[in-house]
Structure 1
Amino acid sequence: MMIVAAARALRDGTRCFVGIGRPSVAANLARGTHAPNLVLVYESGTIGAKPTRLPLSIGDGILAETADAVVSVPELFNYWLQPGRIDVGFLGAAQIDRYGNINTTVIGADYRNPTVRLPGAGGAPEIAASCREVFVIARHDPRTFVDRVDFVTSVGYGRGPGDREALNLRGRGPVQVITNLGVLEPDPTTCELTLTQVHEGVDVDQVCAATGWPLRVATAPTTSTAPTPTELTALRTLRATIGSGAP
Structure 2
Amino acid sequence: MAICGARLVPDGAVVLAGTGLPVLACMLAQKLHAPHAKIVYEGGNIDTHNKELPLSVSDPRLMYRASAVADLRESLGELLQGGYIDIGFLGGAQIDRYGNLNSTVIGNYKKPKVRLVGSGGANDIASLAMSTFIITKHEKRKFHKCDYITSPGHLKGGDSRLKAGLRGEGPKFIITDLCIMDFHPKSKKARVVSLHPGVKKKDVLKNMSWRPIMPRKIEETKAPTAKELRILREEVDPKREYLG
Task: Give the TM interval when normalised to the shorter protein.
Answer: over 0.9
Post-superposition shift, 1:77?
A: 2.1
Alignment of 1:153 onto 2:150 = yes
Report the Cα offset of residue 57 of structure 1: 0.2
Q: Which residue of 1 aligns with 2:142?
A: 144
The aligned counterpart of 1:211 is 208
Show CA shifts across 1:119-155 (max 9, x none): 2111111111111111010111110101x21111100
Deviation at 1:242, TM superposition (A): 5.9
Shift of 1:198: 0.5
Aligned ranges 1:81-160 → 2 under 5 Å: 81-108=80-107, 110-146=108-144, 148-160=145-157
Q: What CA deviation, in whole Å up to 9, does each residue of 1:178-197 have, x standing for no partner?
A: 00001111111111101111
5+ unaligned residues in a row in structure 2: which ranges?
none
Distance across 2 between alignment mates of 1:242 and 1:106? 31
Aligned to 1:226: 223
CA drift of 1:164 comes to 1.1
* Local SS of the residue matching 2:214: strand
Provide, for residues 97-140 of structure 1, a one-character-per-residue CA deviation record: whole Å limited to 9, x for no partner: 001001111122x2243222222111111111111111010111
How far 1:207 moved relative to its partner?
0.8
> Aligned letter for 1:188?
P
Alpha-carbon offset, residue 66 of structure 1: 3.0
Equivalent residue letter for 1:136:
I
The amino acid of 1:181's aligned partner reads: L
1:167-178 map, 5 Å: 167-178=164-175
Shift of 1:18: 0.4
Corresponding position of 1:58: 57
Does structure 1 retain, via aligned residues, the 8 Å contact 2:5–2:175?
Answer: yes
Contact 2:51 2:64 in 1 (8 A): no
Say whether residues 1:23 and 2:22 are aligned partners. yes
Q: Cα offset for 1:208?
A: 1.3
Question: For 1:124 and 1:242, how far apart are their aligned partners in 2?
Answer: 26
Classify the secondary structure of the residue corresponding to 1:183: strand
Q: Distance in 2 between matches of 1:202 and 1:242?
A: 25
Aligned partner of 1:191 in structure 2 is 188
Match of 1:239 in 2: 237
* 2:161 partner SS: helix
2:20 and 2:102 mapped to 1: Cα distance? Answer: 16
Question: TM-score, normalised to structure 1's length?
Answer: 0.93
Query: Contact 2:3/2:224 (CA < 8 Å) preserved in 1?
Result: yes
* Mean CA deviation greater in 206-215 or 36-45: 206-215
Contact 2:45 2:58 in 1 (8 A): no
The percentage of aligned residue pairs carrying the same residue is 39
Residue 209 of structure 1 aligns with an amino acid whose one-letter code is K
Secondary structure of residue in 1 paired with 2:5: helix
Aligned-pair distance for 1:94? 1.6
Change (3 A) 1:13 1:22: same
Provide closer, same or farther for how the CA distance between residues 132 and 47 of structure 1 changes in structure 2, counting only shifts above 3 A.
same
2:67 maps to amino acid: D
